[in-house]
Amino acid sequence: MRVLGLAGSPRRGSNTDILLGEVLKGAAAHGAETKTLYIPNLNIMACQDCNACLATGACPFGDDMPRVVQELAWADRIVLAAPLHFMGLPSQTKALIDRTQAQWVKKYILKQPPLGDSRERRGLFVSVGGRTGENLFDPAAATVKAFFATMDIKYSGRVAYAGVENRAEILNHPDALKAAFEAGEQLVTS
């Protein structure tokens, strides 16, 4: 079982990085091979809606995006960890998702598996937000669900905590780290 972590926070030592680390530890405890891509360290330009992918399912821009698609294809489980930024995902993470429009074309226009094969993949959404309130994570989760659905990755739920504002504040949460570890275990065993 191979698990890919996509770390979307632009700040290092972030709350979502910490939670992602626990999820991956939980997965590794059951023998999973894990790796993490730090999205803000990648060179991913925004989708230009140039429609070049419409004919071939391939994006003409040769930045780090082909590598991301390769890593998604490598994985059996994908953990997207990103905080709320203006109720949505951080812009670097959103750029990555928008660029999978080429995979959308593969799936819906060319009728091919978006990641090149049809094996079962599952995905988890990990997030935090500084604010509190009901349904805080629903708008961001809607984007993640659309991303996973386009990649043929089955959405397997979320680990998300509201009211977490400062760097590494999640370390003081009474049960978040344990819950994240257990979510990682469940992701690779259920």
Ligand X SMILES: Cc1cc2nc3c(=O)[nH]c(=O)nc-3n(C[C@H](O)[C@H](O)[C@H](O)COP(=O)(O)O)c2cc1C
Q: Choose which of 16, 93, 100, 103 interacts with ligand X (CB under 6 A).
A: 16
2, 25, 30, 85: which one binds ligand X (CB under 6 A): 85
83 contributes a contact to ligand X by CB under 6 A: yes
Contact between 20 and ligand X (CB under 6 A)?
Answer: no
Residue selected from 84, 97, 160, 176 as contacting ligand X according to rule CB under 6 A: 84
The dihedral formed by the CA atoms of 26, 134, 141 and 27, expressed in degrees to the nearest 10: 0
Decide: is 143 part of the binding site for ligand X (CB under 6 A): no
* C-beta closer to ligand X: residue 86 or 120: 86
Does 165 bind ligand X (CB under 6 A)? Our answer is: yes
Q: Is 131 in the site for ligand X (CB under 6 A)?
A: yes
Q: CA 71: distance to chain centroid?
A: 12
- Choose one: 25-33, 101-109, 146-154, 161-169; the region binding ligand X (CB under 6 A): 161-169
Which one among 3, 14, 53, 99 touches ligand X, defined by CB under 6 A? 14
Q: Which of 29, 50, 55, 87 binds ligand X (CB under 6 A)?
A: 87
Nearest to 145 by CA among 116, 160, 123: 123
Q: Which of 5, 9, 75, 107 binds ligand X (CB under 6 A)?
A: 9
Note whether 158 binds ligand X by CB under 6 A: no
The 42-71 contact track toward ligand X, x by CB under 6 A, reads ------------------------------
